[in-house]
Structure 1
Amino acid sequence: MTQHNTDVVVIGGGYAGVMAANRLAPHANVTLVNPRPAFVERIRLHQLVAGNDDAVADYAAVLAGSVRLVVDGAERIDAATRTVTLSSGDRLRYDYLIYAVGSTGTVPAAVPGAAEFSYPIGELEQAQRLATRLADVPVSAPLVVVGGGLTGIEAATEFAEAGRPVTLVTDVLGPSLADSGRRSIAKRLRKLAVTVIEGSAVAEVRADGVVLGDGREVAAAVTVWTAGFGVPGLAAASGLSTDRLGRLLTDETLTSISDPRILGAGDAVSPSDAPWRMSCQAALPLGAQAANTVLARLAGEDPAAVNHAMAGQCISLGRKAGTFQFANVDDTPRRWYIGGRTGALVKEQVCRYTLKWMRGEADKPGSYTWKKNPRRGQVAVAMPVR
Structure 2
Amino acid sequence: MTTYTDIATVNVVVIGGGYAGTGAANRLLARPGVKVTLVNPRPQFVERIRLHQYVAGTRNATLDYGTLLGDRVTLLVDRATRIDADARKVHLASGRTLGYDYLIYAVGSTAAIPAAVPGSAEFAYPIGEWEHAQRLRAAIDRAPADASVTVVGGGSTGIETAAELADQGRKVTLVCGAQLAPTFSAPARRSVARWFGKHAVEVLEQERVAEVGPDSVVLTDGTVLPSAVTIWTCGFGVPELAAASGLRTDEAGRLLTDEALVSVDDDRIVAAGDSAAPSGRALRMSCQAAAPLGLHAADTVLALVAGVAPVNQNIGFVGAGVSLGRKAATVQFTRRDDTNKNMYLRGRWGVPIKELASKGAVMGIRNEARKPGSAYTTKGPGHRPAAIAGESDRIARP
**Residues 131-162 of structure 1, C-alpha deviations (whole Å, 9 max, x = no match):** 01111101100000000000000000000010
The residue type paired with residue 56 of structure 1 is T
The residue type paired with residue 67 of structure 1 is V
Contact 1:172 1:199 in 2 (8 A): yes
Indicate yes or no: 2:288 matched with 1:281.
yes
The residue type paired with residue 180 of structure 1 is P
**Structure 2 residue aligned with 1:126:** 132
Distance 1:250 1:320, change over 3 A: same
The residue type paired with residue 226 of structure 2 is A
Shift of 1:335: 2.0
**Structure 2 residue aligned with 1:21:** 25
**Equivalent of 1:233 in 227, 240, 248:** 240
SS across alignment from 2:321? strand
**Structure 2 residue aligned with 1:36:** 42
**Pairing 1:45-194 to 2, within 5 Å after superposition:** 45-170=51-176, 171-194=178-201
Gaps of 5+ in 1: 379-386
**Equivalent of 1:5 in 6, 9, 13:** 9
Shift of 1:245: 0.6
**Residues 196-255 of structure 1, C-alpha deviations (whole Å, 9 max, x = no match):** 010011111111111111111111001000001000110000000001110000011100
Distance (whole Å) between structure 1 residues aligned to residue 95 and residue 114 of structure 2:
31
Distance (whole Å) between structure 2 residues aligned to residue 343 and residue 4 of structure 1:
49
**Equivalent of 1:249 in 250, 256, 269:** 256
**Structure 1 residue aligned with 2:347:** 340
**Structure 2 residue aligned with 1:206:** 213
Shift of 1:4: 5.3
Distance (whole Å) between structure 2 residues aligned to residue 47 and residue 18 of structure 1:
22
Distance 1:377 1:296, change over 3 A: farther
Distance 1:279 1:141, change over 3 A: same
Contact 2:337 2:384 in 1 (8 A): no
**Structure 2 residue aligned with 1:371:** 378
The residue type paired with residue 127 of structure 2 is I
Shift of 1:338: 1.1
**Residues 233-279 of structure 1, C-alpha deviations (whole Å, 9 max, x = no match):** 10000000001110000011100111110000000000001110101
Gaps of 5+ in 2: 386-398
Shift of 1:30: 0.4
Matched positions, count: 378
**Residues 29-76 of structure 1, C-alpha deviations (whole Å, 9 max, x = no match):** 000000000100000000010011110111111111110000000010
Instruction: Please report the TM-score for the alignment, with normalisation by the length of structure 1.
Output: 0.96
**Residues 179-207 of structure 1, C-alpha deviations (whole Å, 9 max, x = no match):** 11101111111111100010011111111
**Percent identity at matched positions?**
56
Deviating above 2 A after TM superposition, structure 1's stretches of 4 or more consecutive aligned residues are 1-4
Shift of 1:353: 1.1
